[in-house]
Amino acid sequence: MACELILVLDAPSPRDVTPTLKRLSGTVRWVKVGLEMFTANGPDCVREIAGLGFNVFLDLKLHDIPNTVAKAVESVSRLPIQMLTLHTGGGREMMAWAARAQQQHAPQLRLLGVTVLTSMSAKDLHDVGVSAPPVEQVVRLGKLAVDAGLRGLVSSPLEIGPLRAALPADVVLVIPGIRPRDAKADDQTRVMTPADAARAGAGYIVVGRPIFHAPDPVAAARAILAELDQRTEDREPRTA
């Protein structure tokens, strides 16, 4: 499976990113709408972005009692989205209810379980009562999510290898914390380059500022995509 690029729309309104998105049309296929834009504009922002021709990854990180999360999945499934996140920390029952709601109301929608946020270090986990290092906690939550019916996960790039070793091959890994070699880490603590993430087994990489803040966003996106294509070829077995 080729590794695909998801562009993060870290902005308060679709109007702030529409000019750049129009330039990127035909280069980038996927975009991520997060809490900032969704809470400021509501569901209409998703419709507006999807109307520009992009696949939408809606990153809401749902986390509540099982019935509430299931109802939220049912509600949001009416929007033109292809992926939706929830927190694996909500537990097995919450994820199972969400998976049943997704299968009933939106079979085409992929639910993604968020494991450990890429901004969290081992110390941050310890502060909230988790003694295990990040990689162990990510694998534990990943196994729990798959057992509950999810077929996609979000983790830092440093956990790609352990997750690939522990989970079925059809589980899709969506990986934030991606930075080209010459980009700043910003608020991410566990990062990797696009090439290394693709080689390790990422299904999607999530990139925002290195594209939007580049002097030429189209050129920046194309450079990342070229790197992904090369590394995907490198990891695929050759035939005689």
Whether 123 is catalytic is no
How far apart are alpha carbons 156 and 179 in whole angstroms? 12
Q: Which residues of 9-40 are buried (b: 16+ CB within 10 A; e: fewer)?
A: bebeebeebeebbeebeebbebbbbbeebbee
Nearest CA to 111 among 74, 64, 55, 150?
Answer: 150
Active-site choice (61, 123, 143, 184): 61
> Cβ of 231: how many Cβ atoms within 10 Å?
21
Q: What is the number of H-type helices and E-type strands within the chain?
A: 11, 8
Name the residues annotated as catalytic. 61
